[in-house]
Structures are given as structure tokens and as C-alpha cells.
Structure 1
């Protein structure tokens, strides 16, 4: 448990870092050095280096007819991957974006550019992303040009488009990203690192001023991960184990109850703090939503709150409703522990920690807890069987009642 105490010691410093406001920047000498107005098809008036993935954007705005000629430059991260750029008419977020994705044609191997509309179902990943025509009033023309050596890891790609804007509207929400795989003609989910989640910006096509929505700070992400892993992922199941196995020891008396209550209360307070940090992170990242992770987190917090409230209405041991209260308490408690552990793994996937030492450390700690519970469970059944085989009928009946009372 020493690593967890170390994590608790560093939490105050993690939580002391404030969120940053929306950053507004303009194209400067550094940005100009990273972008070029000369593309493979034509030369544009302005360009800007986008804040993530080494991408850049060049454009020419025609105020007379409110059209925008755009050249997006990105790079592949896999020979079987994809690169996409799009415009969101409403907000700087993925949902609602009209995107153009460059990918390798599975049948011919040549570069292919397909249009996609990213509706809310994309986040749920309930079905493959299917190409469909974009709004005719928005996209007037599009094409793509890849590096001469074809699609490969690190190969550059340019996406060209002519977009119709609303009159007198010069601020445009740009969204871009890239992924590792394409299934058929359907791009799969992109990586979820901080840079991938921040691939969006609002650019004024006249002044080149850029508004970049803030990403949650690394310290807040670390605090959120540590608090929730420790509370929902370890302490809460440990509190369940304390109640289940210490209660069978008649020598400890009511100590098991106070230990159980103390561990669960600590787990819930730390978990509530981690949940609050998650809410703050969500508000700091508009347009980025993890529905499953958020839903499981809300379910865990609600179940934990119900467990805490249940203590205020606990009937006496002789009350006729006591057995119903116990059934409710056990069912909600076990459910909360399971949901908490599942959501810890879901959160690791969201944060891109699926193959890191953080996940390995948590798995080892959880495996140790599960192994201890298995050993205690076996020991409890051995003791129960011995009592059943060696005691009288009255002793057997009492043992059965004690065993089933939990």
C-alpha cells in the first residue's frame, strides 16, 4: 500500500493547478515558419500552423461570394490509417462536423477522399462510420493529394476544398484528426491522447486569429485517475471484503462494522473528489464527451450516495424489515464495487493508458486484493464445513444462519 500513500501525499500539489482559459493567438513568425501558402495545386493568401499533430492550414477567402478555398496538410500515422479535416458549422467539436477523410482504397491501394457527417452516434461507436454526401450548400468541391511514395507512416497528405460560408461570417470551426486503421471504407476511432482530443480550433479567415479550446491540464488528469483508481477501484472493494470476512470472526466484535464504515466512507469521499475533478475537466473540454465513462461514473456516485443514505434508515436487528434492508444494502454495495472497477478500466482506455505501467500497477494491486478475497472465501467455507460436520444439529443450524446472514 506504500505507493498509494505516496500518491495521496502528492495530490494537494496536483489539485492546486488552475484551469487555463480559452487561448486566443494570431499567426506569428513561428507559425509562419511551420506553414506555407504554396500547395501542390495552387498558392493561397494565408496560412497557419495548427496547434496539434504537426498539421497546417492554408486558405484564400473571397468576400464577394463568401467562399473559402482551403488546403489542409496532415500526415498519416499508419499505412492503413486515415487523415481527416472538416468544418463544424455550430461549435468547435467533433459532433456535427462535416469531414473529408483521406484513406487508402482497400481494393486498389490508391488514395481516396470520402465525405462523412459526424453525428452523435459516432461517439457511441454503435455502428461503423458510413460515408455520405455533405450539405450541398456547404461543400462546393474537394480533392486530395498524397506524397509521391504513397500512403505510409509519416507520409504527408493534402486535402483541398472549397467551402461556402454564411455572409459576413469569417470565424470558422475547424476539426481535424488521424487514425491507425480503416475497416473497409470506414475510419476507426482515433487515438485518445491529449493532442488528439485537442485537434480543433476556431480561426478567423480574415485576421487569422485563432481560438483554441483549453485541454484539461495533465495534473488534473493525473489527480482524476489516481483518486478514482484508489477509491472506486481498490478501497471500495476492500471495504466490501472487510465486511464479508471480518464479520465471521466473533473475536473482533463490532470492530468489523466500524472498519467497514471507515473504509467505505474514505472511498466515497475520495471518489466524489475524483468525480468532481472529472466534471471540471468535462466543462473545460466542450465537445469532448465519453458517454460510457461518464455514465458509469454517475452510476457509481449515485449508488455510493444511496449506500451512505441507507445507514440513516437502517432498521434494528429485530425489525421485520431488517432482512429487506440487508438485501438492498448487499445488492447495491456489490453493484457499486463492480461498476467502480469497470469504470477504472474504461477511464484508462479513455486516457490512453491501456498499455502502460499505470494499468499494470493497478492490475497487480487489484489481483492481490482478489487473491486475498479468494483465499479468505476458501478459508471461510472450510471453517463452515468443519463446523457443519463436527457440531450438533443446533450448531449446524446456527452455522448455516451465520453463513447465510451476510
Structure 2
């Protein structure tokens, strides 16, 4: 056997082996959210491991009514007393400038005894927002925030326009100073924490 043939076969085998490793790794990462069990035993139809941060979105959607039940999880929170977390929808479906106009569900440290974090809504008007509490354009209910095992979870039911099949969503976290959310980091991971979410038959 020629040396060149041997090198080609070795290269081919290495390529196949590497491909298998990458496929297995991708499959494992894709399945992370599906293996999660909520403490309250709530079950959602679909979930997605979100890129660029330790975040996960679980949802159940009914296109005929527009009802969207979500649970947004953000992990790795060492100190919930100085951290905010948010998940939002951009109703303009503007992926390039997703933040202005976004309708957000926000979790911040609770100021009352017996609770770690509380949730509220915020209509984001500009990049300089401090996430002031305000109404959002989507009807919503059952807004609740939990903190357990260094992870914040935002639960809510939203009503979207009927037959919506996809939307632009974004997610962030940052620090809190004197009870006011500060601007999040401008690292690449933060700036890219947005995407088009396919509610119906999401791509694998």
C-alpha cells in the first residue's frame, strides 16, 4: 500500500470519528432541557437550550388561541440579591435591533420577606433602559418567579396574535445596584442572546 493511500485512509477515519463526536456532543446539548424536571412537576410540550448563556426556554403553544405558556430558566446565579434576569419578545420581529420595543418579563431581587425574587413586566423603549416596571402589549397571567439551585425560573402565560408561528425573542441577565437593574454586559455573548424562535414544529 502506498504511503499516500495510507494517509488518505487515516484522514478519512479521523474525519468520521470527529464527526461522530461532534454529532454526539450536539445531541447531548440539544437534549439538556428535555431532561429537566420542574419541582412543581409542570410539563411543557417543547423546550430549547438557548445559545450564548446558561439559559433554557420551555413552552406549550396553541396556535388557534395564541396562548403561550412559558418557563424561562437562567442558571449559574451565585447571588440572587444583586442579579436581574429577563426574557422578552420583540413584537416588531426585528432581529437586528431586538431590544428597543421588546416586551419583557423581568425577575429582580424581592424586597419582601419570604421571597427571594419577584417578577414584573417591562416595555423596553430604548437601549438605556433600567427595566422600569410597566405594562406590556401582550395579555398575560400567572407570572411567577422561583429561585432554586442557583437558577431563576420565570413562569408566565402570554396571549399572542392567533396563528403566530414564530417570533423574535431575547434574554439577558445583569447586576442590580440600589434595587435598580444596571445595563447588562456588552460582551459578544450578551449582544447575541437573541434569535428567531419557531413556536410550531421548531427545527432540530
The TM-score by the shorter chain falls in which range? 0.7 to 0.9
Asked whether the 8 Å contact 1:82–1:182 carries over to 2, the reply is no
Over the aligned positions, Cα root-mean-square deviation in angstroms equals 2.2
Choose 1 or 2 for highest CA Rg.
Answer: 1
Listed as ranges, the matches of 1:151-230 within 5 Å are: 155-184=150-179, 186-209=180-203
CA deviation profile, 1:244-272 (whole Å, cap 9, x unmatched): xxxxxxxxxxxxxxxxxxxxxxxxxxxxx
d(CA) in 1 for partners of 2:72, 2:131: 22
Alignment correspondent of 1:242 = none
Number of positions where the alignment pairs a residue of Structure 1 with one of Structure 2: 171
Q: CA distance change for structure 1 residues 189 and 170 in 2, over 3 Å: closer, same or farther?
A: same
Alignment correspondent of 1:379 = none
1:110 counterpart (102, 107, 116): 116
In proportion to residue count, which structure has more strand? 2
Alignment correspondent of 1:119 = 125
Asked whether the 8 Å contact 1:203–1:209 carries over to 2, the reply is no
Alignment correspondent of 1:138 = 139
Alignment correspondent of 1:48 = 48
Unaligned segments of structure 2, at least 5 residues: 1-25
Q: CA distance change for structure 1 residues 165 and 31 in 2, over 3 Å: closer, same or farther?
A: farther
Alignment correspondent of 1:39 = 38
Q: CA distance change for structure 1 residues 167 and 67 in 2, over 3 Å: closer, same or farther?
A: same
Alignment correspondent of 2:27 = 29
Q: CA distance change for structure 1 residues 77 and 97 in 2, over 3 Å: closer, same or farther?
A: farther
Unaligned segments of structure 1, at least 5 residues: 1-27, 149-154, 211-406
Asked whether the 8 Å contact 1:48–1:208 carries over to 2, the reply is no
Is 1:100 the equivalent of 2:112? no
In proportion to residue count, which structure has more helix? 1
CA deviation profile, 1:82-125 (whole Å, cap 9, x unmatched): 111111111231111111111212453621112111102xx246
Matched position secondary structure for 1:29: helix
d(CA) in 2 for partners of 1:105, 1:171: 33
